Structure 1
Amino acid sequence: MPDARYLFAAVAVSAAVTWALRALPFTALAPLRASRTVQYLGARMPAGVMVILLVYCLRDLPLGSPAHAAAPLIALAVTVGLHLWRRNALLSILTGTAVNVALASTVFGH
């Protein structure tokens, strides 16, 4: 069995490293908050995320089969309409995703 001082030192070092690793992101990101690049990305990323989700969700859209294309297109209309109405990217993304899943698994399920 290791010495008590050794165990105490190991626990103290582990605690210090854990605390430092958890505090490091906050101290490293503090100067970045004033950065023009970070402010630009913060303003533009919601639209970028929505474009990526749009391309991902509609990449395999079967345009030859209206029954299979209906769920994603209805979800897209709900997402766009909700976003234009509320201007809340998170709300519109989550609601559009939920509508797509609900429609694809129930009404238009294959």
Structure 2
Amino acid sequence: MIAVVGAVTFLTRAAPFWFFKRGTPRWVNYLGRVLPPAIMAILVVYCLRGVSLLTYPYGLPELLAGAAVVGLHLWKKNNLISILGGTALYMVLVQLVFAG
């Protein structure tokens, strides 16, 4: 199982170099530029889809944690710190502050 996973991982990493020996096509560069922000937007919408703004706590934990993620990312420019900090804040808010 480990050998198969290792081989598949290697092949998926090496495949672009085999297919694009003469340089990366423009469409691949375009996808590399537009897909990361698009995927992040989809993830934000997916994560916030069940938030009710009409009932307690009115989306405040999500709003505060989201603002913390943005603030941490603007400050530290580190994806891991931003995600972990926002997740930790959200869990504290949901479990201790807005528990009810």
TM class by shorter chain equals 0.5 to 0.7
Show the counterpart of 2:44. 54
- Cα RMSD of the aligned pairs, angstroms, is 3.1
The one-letter code matched in structure 1 to 2:12 is P
Higher relative contact order (CA 8 A, sep 6+): 1
Q: 1:79 aligns with which of 63, 66, 69?
A: 69
What percentage of residue pairs aligned between the two structures are identical?
A: 40
Q: Name whichever of 46-55 and 91-100 sits farther off.
A: 91-100
Normalising by the residue count of structure 1, what TM-score does the alignment of the two structures yield? 0.58
> Structure 1 residues 42 and 89 mapped into 2: Cα distance closer, same or farther (>3 Å)?
farther
Q: Is 1:69 the equivalent of 2:59?
A: yes
Structure 2 residue ranges without an equivalent (≥5)? none
Larger Rg: 1
Which of the two has greater helix per residue? 1
Show the counterpart of 2:88. 98
Structure 1 residue ranges without an equivalent (≥5)? 1-16
Normalising by the residue count of structure 2, what TM-score does the alignment of the two structures yield? 0.62
Q: Which whole-Å deviations, capped at 9, do the CAs of 1:47-90 have from their partners, x for residues lacking one?
A: 22321222122212121234252110101111222333344445
Show the counterpart of 1:6. none
The one-letter code matched in structure 1 to 2:13 is F
Q: 1:41 aligns with which of 26, 31, 34?
A: 31
